[in-house]
Structure 1
């Protein structure tokens, strides 16, 4: 039984006689999913780029929200310094 990935790598894993043969297998050379159809291998999974904490915050808050939160925090700091 052979499996092919999108990069054209062929894998020939061995399975026990009573084992269920999987539809896909991870290519040992490049890690992409490999399928049993050489002409139509599975597509590479789409990976999302790494996002910083700030990027996630910017997705949830508008610039106006950020300015309002900053102004509120600065006001609290100023009040503490006056005490």
Structure 2
């Protein structure tokens, strides 16, 4: 079974303005919603966004930001996943 991009949905997105790190909740078809860390979208000097890049290794700033939003991510994921 081949990957079908039309079945891949982004349900919720958070972006760290400081580091460009993106955290999303995604769902493929009717599958279980899951958290994805990355990509990273940095800004050009002219203020426009560069092409997305892999998140790579996380900095202290990335971890502190993720720590600040983790409860919100967990609640959203739990709500989207429904009863276990």
- Give the TM-score category using the shorter length: under 0.3
Quick check: which one's strand share is greater?
2
Task: Give 1 or 2 for the bigger CA radius of gyration.
Answer: 1
User: What TM-score does the superposition give when structure 2 sets the normalisation length?
Assistant: 0.23
User: What TM-score does the superposition give when structure 1 sets the normalisation length?
Assistant: 0.24
